[in-house]
Amino acid sequence: MTLSRRDMLLTLSVAPAALAADGGTAAPPAARALKPLPFDPAKLPGLSERLLVSHHENNYGGALKNLSKVEAELARVTKDTPGFLVAGLKERELTFRNSVALHEAYFANLGGDGKASGALEKALARTFGSFARFEELFRACALALSGGSGWTVLSFHPERQELTIDWSGHHTQSLSGAAPLLVLDLYEHAYALDYGAAAARYVDAFMANVRWDDAERRYARWSAKSARE
């Protein structure tokens, strides 16, 4: 279900009163903590401290705050809450939950020297023909989003032991069951302060700062988990 702007505004305006009238008593979840940047934002070549701090505090932080608000409202839902309110809340919950998860993966991916090695590099070469070919396709997918909004994600599919490059036009689009290994934010807030509309230069800077050991750690964890199952 996709809510129109009018429906969403209506939902936001009447939700508190309707939920309160239903008399829900569930305790709201605890507020979520902002994870600190795992690197010094003043030391990433090609990505300014101003850009990284704004992205971290305003966009990732904003998603966290909005998720906490939605969770608090969902805690007050009862069997008598109007269906359109529940639908709107669940849609917003999915959007903000995915935004939080993808932003956390994105920042964890940064702070390295952009040089891949180990089992993941070999797996990418097997899957795509070479690591260079993987990078070419990953960049192409990312640039297909420039000027718009979305994410490019290197995903691992545990059940099939497959690596794929996924395109997401919104926080709610992803392949079911896939584990994100490398996440690139292509929303304009991720690069416009530094590069304006020159998204290709931002992608270059991102790739030069990838912390491949983080992606390698996730790959090792998920591939080992799927092997045990």
Boundaries of every domain in the chain: 5-20+47-108, 118-228
pLDDT at 198: 95
Looking at domain 118-228, its CATH class is alpha beta
CB 193 within 8 A of CB 56: no
Predicted confidence (pLDDT) at residue 26 exceeds the cutoff of 90:
no
The CA radius of gyration of the chain, in Å to the nearest whole number, is 20
d(CA 120, CA 178): 16
Q: What is the mean pLDDT of the chain?
A: 87
Q: What is the pTM of this model?
A: 0.85
Tell me which amino acid residue 214 is: D
pLDDT score at 54 = 99
What mean pLDDT do residues 110-136 have?
97
- Give the model's confidence band at 4: pLDDT under 50 very low, under 70 low, under 90 confident, else very high: very low
DSSP 188: G
Averaged pLDDT, 129-137: 98
Residue 181 near residue 120, CB atoms below 8 Å: yes
- Which helix (H) or strand (E) element contains residue 219? helix 212-228
Cβ-count burial of 101 within 10 angstroms (0-12 exposed, 13-18 middle, 19+ buried)?
Answer: middle
The DSSP H or E segment spanning 163 is strand 162-168
Mean pLDDT of 77-102: 96
The pLDDT value given to residue 146:
74
Distance CA(154)–CA(178), nearest Å, equals 9
Residue of 52 and 226 predicted with greater confidence: 52
Reported as a single tens digit per residue, the pLDDT across 37-49 is: 999 999 999 999 9
> What pLDDT is stored for residue 179 in this prediction?
93
What is the three-class DSSP state of 78? coil
pLDDT of the residue at 195: 97
Longest dimension (CA), the chain: 60
171: which 2 tokens? 């926080």
The pLDDT of residue 114 is 97
Condensed to tens digits (0 to 9), the pLDDT of residues 44-85 reads 999 999 999 999 999 999 999 999 999 999 999 999 999 999
CA dihedral (104, 110, 111, 117) positive or negative: positive
Q: Tens digit of pLDDT for each residue in 209-222?
A: 999 999 999 999 98
What are the backbone angles phi and psi of residue 174, rounded to the nearest 5°?
Answer: -165, 165
Residue at token pair 């931002």 = 202
Mean pLDDT score, 155-164: 92
Give one word for 117, left, alpha or beta, with left for phi > 0 and alpha for psi -120 to 50.
beta
- How far apart are alpha carbons 152 and 67 in whole angstroms? 22
**Burial class, 163, CB count within 10 angstroms (exposed 0-12 / middle 13-18 / buried 19+):** buried
